[in-house]
Structure 1
Amino acid sequence: MPKFCDKVYIRRNENLNFTSSIENIYNQKVNYNFLSADLITNGTSPNDYLFCVNGSGELFEVDSLDGLLTYLSDMPMGSFTCAIDQENKVLYSIGKSSPYPLMKYSIEFNTWETIAELGIGEPRLDYNDEDGLLYFSKNDRLYTFNPNNGSNLDQWVINGLHNVSGGDLAFAEDGTLFLCTFSGLYRLELDENDEYQSTRISADNLPFQPTSMTFDSNQELWLANNSSSSDLIIMDTVTVGWQYRYGINANNNSDYGRTINDLTTFRVYSENPETIDTDNDGIPDQDDSYPEDPDKAFEVFTPSKYVTGTIAFEDLWPSDGDYDFNDMALNYQAIAVLNSENLAVQIDFIARVKSDDAGYTNGVGIEMEGISPSQIQSVIDPIYTENFINLNTNGTEVNQDNAVIILTDNAGNLTNETFISVKFVKPITTTELGVAPFNPFIIVNKEREKEIHLPYYNTTSLGNRFFDVEGVNNDHSGNYISNSGFPWGISIIHDFKVPKPSVAINEAYNFFNNWAESGGTDLKDWYKGNPGNRNPSLLKD
């Protein structure tokens, strides 16, 4: 072994049983003895390898942990699809051109065989462990094929896709079928008419063209984009928040210099998983978000690890005002920090006011209902400039029954991304903590008692529900929603595109009224970039 190496990674394959270990190097030699041949690939502690194919006929793998690429084999024909049968350790791929052969690759023996000629190809393929069938999709159709002989068993229509080009499909661990196209990520469900209905999860078209998609062991999606040097992208399925992980746009020196037309996951299980626990909190370093801090172990993100949500308010409550919802729009991400017993020790907020078009000076706060001010140890780095907020020594607001955190007394202070942290005296359960963004509100024009909340939320102890107003009072009940169902505050798990100044939200968004008047049960996608939803010229950049 080279002198500059002190460890070597060994990956072993015996009769389709895969193991791996890291061994020490002594005097440029490795003394390695394999002790057991009983390990199979459905044990614990998996490492995910992304098997990738392209139209140039290349099969290669990428280690999801470090991005290392290993070339595996030339393919009989280039391909835009691949799927793995984990149990039998085989990869299936459909050739890119007529007669579109169904090809089978043995991961154990590094050999290829052709199963059948399908007569149809590109771009989406996955293997379903539940029924042992290949699921193939093109345009707005879904097919099943028998992987043993290539026979077409069934086909369905997919309704509701806004763009039918490109993309891929993938089964989640619970059997849910997801599909992506150039218009974003969808969840598919089979209806009573034996047709698949698609629900768009994405709020907007993705800024890249996805060619492939697969789930890892953590049930996060990996995608690749359509490029001569593809990027690998990781994504969640709740908000479609995403992040470049490897490739040119990841800016981590991981340019692959080749196209990835499809990818699929193969799991390798270590015989001796890493058990290093630097802080001795019972959580191995590889699973510990804070491996050197015994009081912290995990992070829970709201709305997602990869995206911010939006809270937006109209500040002329209880009158409608111009109803443009750009008086205060806050992008936020909440990070609950848990210890090894899954108890919350602190919660961090990443906050940025994306719109502050109010004529007033408005404060921004959150109430953590059910948590007393005495349970808070400290509030770190809120921003105050207006001198109308009174605080306890721990940073919570005075004279409140629940813990109230005023992020700022002037929304204009948060136009740059700001990190605010709330620490607890003693760890609390996630049930006690509740769900971010908790009870958010604005304080109108430095009038401390004038709070505006989301519909049906309570005021804080310092708030007042009833005011004399100039003009029409559209909220006689003081519950922050009009008799017609129109709110003064909205909370969205995506980045909301706010209307331009003095443009009412129901002018910028064509189905806002339908959604509001239904009590939020109809047209839940009203704010998304689906065709016909928005009037882009009426929205801020």
Structure 2
Amino acid sequence: MKNTFSNFLKINFAILLLYGCNFSSPEAIEPIDSATNTLAIPAGFDFSTHHAVTINIVDNGQYAKYDVYAYSDELYNSGTETFENESGQMVTEVVFKSDVLEKLIFSGVSRNGVLKQIINLPKFYNKVYIRRNENLKFSSSVKNIVNNEVNYNFSGLKSATKSKSANNVTDYLYCVNGSGQLFQVDPLTAVLTDLSSMPMGSYTCAIDQEKKELYSIGRSSPYPLMKYSITNDTWVTVANIGRGGPRLDFNKVDGLLYFSTADKIYTYNPTTGANLGVWDILGLHNTNGGDLAFAEDGTLFLCTFSGLYKLVLNANNKYQSTRISSDNLPFSPTSMTFDSNKELWLADNSSSADLIIMDTQTGGWKYKYGASANNNTDFGRIINDLTTFRVYSDVIDQTDTDGDGILDQDDAFPTDAEAAFEFFTPSKYGKGTIAFEDLWPSTGDYDFNDAALSYQAIAVLNADNKAVRLDFICNIKANGAGFTNGIGFEIEGLAPSKVESVTGAVLTQNFINLNANGTEANQANAVIILADDVDNILRETTISVKFVTPISTSELGVAPFNPFIIANKVREKEIHLPYRNITSLGNRSISFTGVNKDPDGNFVSSNGFPWAISIIHDFKVPKEKIDITNAYNFFGTWAESGGSQFIDWYKDNPGNRNLDKIDK
């Protein structure tokens, strides 16, 4: 056993003889030339960068779909962008975006009032974003992770879904901004719910209520007309408009999009993006900013920074404007929409996103929400355009094509009765990395590029939130070894007999024996060999594991499970993450030539260093012969702190990486 106090890692590559990772024989050794690096590693530190978190959702209400996301307040730098602002000026600025809605972990529907899953999150996440969808009535909550658990009780929340009018309709204000955020605001409560990340930031949005589609025009060249399906949560680009501007609405009478900039109005076919007409606007006092909106009776209103106008097409086929509001508004309106009660909502261009209600007859107005309303409703983000989405309580699409009890609009597999939801690790759009040193139990050069596996695990769940299949999408992103190494993972606690089939594995070296179902033979647990030579999966490969009967996700476990490599085709020489178990075919006391740096056989050296590290994030590996402490500036501090400091040392944050020492 190791000492209970801190072990000292003393790596002096200038004087130690270490095995070289590029040598084909374990007998070969070479001195590695590197700076002296001394680290004090706390005893028992497992170098884990992520943790398992239990999500407990209690919902005794009606049928509702839940989406759970990893949540961070931090915005990421998405680079500079040149665009025309709402004042008509071309500007170039750094764009910061939120990646919350890019971090979907799983979806599901509560069964018997309960939805419970165990997810794997990077340790720098201390919150999750939970979004509830009841027939397109969205609500959400940000919940703290406490003692590796999140508890969310919908029955204990005040419902924000009561009808706003007498016609069984609930209004939601859909909002977009230049940072590419699509979100809703409940006009009754001012509660904000994120809906989607847009392909491009925008100043415009309009909804075709009948088709449940939102349209938006990107703020930068080539100014794409983008269409969002509210039902399916998907974006497509219809066409490139070729011009930008701040005003857009959908006319339900002729089914066209009305788009306006400066003193012009254009009509577009929303299906093709074709420009069908153009009109002049007369009488505007200021042509910057604003929006346009059709009232219920078809009357067209337009606002600019100079106020609210009513537009009427005159005999010369031009729109004559009549200003309704006074010319001394203390705000600059950027957007407007009518709700089901025929009230006109406006937003201004302040950072507090003030929402204003205005009377279309007198131009009278009042602040409803935002910092200027003095009611603690600062949204903390800009609203560049508004539109209204109406949810009718007596019009519910009950289509369930496959009859699994999950409505098509909520079903990721609407024609497959055995599948309904997806469970992602790390997330829907993210990849994780497992990086290995292959000279165990001797030390190597700690560049962690002997075999670096990039992966995304997708558990396909049925209507009861049980796993029917596991798709493991992976590729080797770095192979700095001279050995022929195999790679796989063990699903601990799952018997091989519970697997129906394994497909997609690439085996060419003839040292792996399989059962008829594709799992490795002579194993107590289900072991999935991805490849017996990591060179076989340099390109992205999907290995699918189908189960005989659906299993709970707690029985499946949390990806990446128990990953390991098989060094140089010696089947018993498995190399695992720190303190993880070997499989039935592994051997902790394997005979080898050299100095045993792991006398305890727990894959942590006597100096406290690992032979493998797992990061639920895209990890850029060090270049050949560059130890990880030189490639990542805060790795050493993180390790010496037992993982409490610089917990995001591997992210692309300023100062974290030495780019000249990292593979691209």
Deviation, structure 1 residue 50: 3.9
Q: 1:329 to 1:37 in 2, by over 3 A?
A: same
Distance 1:363 1:108 in 2: 71
Q: 1:147 to 1:411 in 2, by over 3 A?
A: same
Partner of 1:519: 642
Partner of 2:478: 355
Deviation, structure 1 residue 516: 2.1
1:37 and 2:182 aligned: no
Q: 1:111 to 1:262 in 2, by over 3 A?
A: farther
Q: 1:111 to 1:491 in 2, by over 3 A?
A: farther
Residue among 444, 454, 461 paired with 1:338:
461
1:103 and 1:115 in contact (8 A); partners too? no
Question: Secondary structure, in 3 states, of the residue corresponding to 2:205?
Answer: strand
Deviation, structure 1 residue 37: 2.9
1:76 and 1:112 in contact (8 A); partners too? no
2:453 and 2:478 in contact (8 A); partners too? yes
Partner of 2:566: 443
2:344 and 2:360 in contact (8 A); partners too? no
Distance 2:600 2:336 in 1: 57
Question: Secondary structure, in 3 states, of the residue corresponding to 1:41?
Answer: strand
Q: 1:314 to 1:169 in 2, by over 3 A?
A: farther
Deviation, structure 1 residue 107: 9.3
Higher Rg: 2
1:305 and 2:428 aligned: yes
Residue 37 of structure 1 aligns with an amino acid whose one-letter code is A
Deviation, structure 1 residue 538: 0.3
Q: 1:274 to 1:460 in 2, by over 3 A?
A: same
1:59 and 1:75 in contact (8 A); partners too? no
Q: Which has the higher contact order (CA 8 A, sep 6+)?
A: 2
1:55-97 C-alpha deviation (Å, 9 max, x unpaired): xx9653362416597364444439798899x99988664437x
Q: 1:311 to 1:274 in 2, by over 3 A?
A: same
* Structure 2: runs of 5 or more not aligned: 1-134, 137-164, 180-201, 208-213, 215-227, 239-247, 251-291, 294-301, 306-330
Residue 391 of structure 2 aligns with an amino acid whose one-letter code is Y
Residue among 570, 577, 581 paired with 1:458:
581
1:70 and 2:296 aligned: no
The correspondence of residues 104-143 of structure 1 with structure 2, limited to 5 A, is 104-106=355-357, 134=370
Partner of 1:196: none
Partner of 1:161: none
1:277 and 2:400 aligned: yes
The correspondence of residues 236-251 of structure 1 with structure 2, limited to 5 A, is none
Distance 2:206 2:349 in 1: 19
1:349-404 C-alpha deviation (Å, 9 max, x unpaired): 11111111111111110100010000000001100111100000000001100000
1:477-502 C-alpha deviation (Å, 9 max, x unpaired): 11112344322111112110011111
2:354 and 2:372 in contact (8 A); partners too? no
1:60 and 2:191 aligned: no
Residue 377 of structure 1 aligns with an amino acid whose one-letter code is E
1:428 and 2:573 aligned: no
Distance 2:176 2:547 in 1: 44
Q: 1:533 to 1:83 in 2, by over 3 A?
A: farther
1:147 and 2:270 aligned: no
2:304 and 2:334 in contact (8 A); partners too? no
Question: Secondary structure, in 3 states, of the residue corresponding to 2:542?
Answer: strand
Residue among 625, 629, 633 paired with 1:506:
629
1:95 and 2:274 aligned: no
Question: Secondary structure, in 3 states, of the residue corresponding to 2:619?
Answer: coil
The correspondence of residues 407-426 of structure 1 with structure 2, limited to 5 A, is 407-426=530-549
1:458-509 C-alpha deviation (Å, 9 max, x unpaired): 0101011123444443322111123443221111121100111111111111
2:445 and 2:626 in contact (8 A); partners too? yes
Distance 1:425 1:520 in 2: 39
Distance 1:267 1:401 in 2: 55
Q: 1:151 to 1:522 in 2, by over 3 A?
A: closer
1:361 and 1:445 in contact (8 A); partners too? yes
Distance 2:481 2:628 in 1: 15
The correspondence of residues 211-230 of structure 1 with structure 2, limited to 5 A, is none
Deviation, structure 1 residue 453: 0.9
Q: 1:311 to 1:275 in 2, by over 3 A?
A: same
Question: Secondary structure, in 3 states, of the residue corresponding to 1:374?
Answer: helix
Q: 1:151 to 1:103 in 2, by over 3 A?
A: closer
Q: 1:101 to 1:525 in 2, by over 3 A?
A: closer
Question: Secondary structure, in 3 states, of the residue corresponding to 1:432?
Answer: helix
Question: Secondary structure, in 3 states, of the residue corresponding to 1:497?
Answer: coil
Q: 1:58 to 1:313 in 2, by over 3 A?
A: closer
Residue 205 of structure 2 aligns with an amino acid whose one-letter code is F
Partner of 2:101: none
- The count of corresponding residues between Structure 1 and Structure 2 is 370
Q: 1:48 to 1:81 in 2, by over 3 A?
A: closer
1:280-331 C-alpha deviation (Å, 9 max, x unpaired): 1111111111111111111111111111111111111222211110111111
User: What's the % identity of the aligned pairs?
Assistant: 51
Q: 1:284 to 1:472 in 2, by over 3 A?
A: same
The correspondence of residues 255-404 of structure 1 with structure 2, limited to 5 A, is 262=384, 268-271=390-393, 272-404=395-527
Distance 1:110 1:336 in 2: 56
Q: 1:82 to 1:318 in 2, by over 3 A?
A: farther
Distance 1:273 1:435 in 2: 36
1:373 and 1:402 in contact (8 A); partners too? yes
2:354 and 2:373 in contact (8 A); partners too? no
1:28-59 C-alpha deviation (Å, 9 max, x unpaired): xxxxxxxx9352538xxxx88444579xx965
Question: Secondary structure, in 3 states, of the residue corresponding to 2:373?
Answer: coil
Distance 1:319 1:361 in 2: 17
1:220-243 C-alpha deviation (Å, 9 max, x unpaired): xxxxxxxxxxxxxxxxxxxxxxxx
2:176 and 2:203 in contact (8 A); partners too? no
Q: 1:369 to 1:58 in 2, by over 3 A?
A: closer
Question: Secondary structure, in 3 states, of the residue corresponding to 1:286?
Answer: helix
Residue 147 of structure 1 aligns with an amino acid whose one-letter code is A
Distance 1:435 1:451 in 2: 20
1:50 and 1:61 in contact (8 A); partners too? no
Distance 2:169 2:602 in 1: 58
Residue 423 of structure 1 aligns with an amino acid whose one-letter code is K
Distance 1:386 1:37 in 2: 71
2:426 and 2:616 in contact (8 A); partners too? yes
Deviation, structure 1 residue 521: 2.7
Q: 1:80 to 1:430 in 2, by over 3 A?
A: farther
Q: 1:334 to 1:150 in 2, by over 3 A?
A: closer
Residue 635 of structure 2 aligns with an amino acid whose one-letter code is F
Distance 1:110 1:290 in 2: 50
